[in-house]
């Protein structure tokens, strides 16, 4: 997991939002329904920020992607988009 300090916490949240935007842009540019696995392979994994083992074990349905930080991305089927969520502890 990425080192989490109060100094870089905002950057880690921004990183999750940037990946969310990249996934949503990928789908928009594709102009079609895009399976979650394709987004994982084409957008999330190449970023280098994904904890692939945890994502594979705990991803579930709707899909969740765990980042190497306390954040991840969750697919919202009702909105057909990806949004950040927190899955790990924050510094105190």
**Pairwise CA distance, residues 77 & 89, whole Å:** 26
What does the pLDDT look like over 3-44, one tens digit per residue? 666 678 889 999 999 999 999 999 999 999 999 999 999 999
pLDDT at 1 over 70: no
Q: Is residue 25 part of a domain?
A: yes
pLDDT at 58 over 90: yes
Q: What is the pTM of this model?
A: 0.86
Q: How confident is the model at residue 90 (pLDDT cuts 50, 70, 90)?
A: confident
Q: How confident is the model at residue 2 (pLDDT cuts 50, 70, 90)?
A: low
- Residue 81 lies in domain: 9-86
Three-state DSSP at 31 gives coil
Q: Is residue 92 part of a domain?
A: no
Number of folded domains in the chain?
A: 1
**Pairwise CA distance, residues 40 & 69, whole Å:** 17
Q: Is residue 91 part of a domain?
A: no
| pLDDT score of 6 | 63
């Amino acid at each position: 997991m990425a080192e989490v300090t109060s100094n870089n916490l905002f950057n880690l949240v921004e990183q999750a939002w940037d990946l969310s935007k990249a996934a949503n842009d990928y789908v928009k540019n594709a102009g079609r329904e895009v399976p979650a696995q394709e987004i994982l392979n084409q957008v999330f994994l190449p970023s280098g920020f994904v904890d692939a083992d945890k994502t594979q074990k705990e991803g579930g349905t709707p899909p969740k992607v765990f980042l190497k930080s306390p954040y991840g991305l969750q697919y919202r089927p009702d909105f057909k988009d990806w949004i950040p969520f927190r899955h790990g502890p924050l510094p105190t």
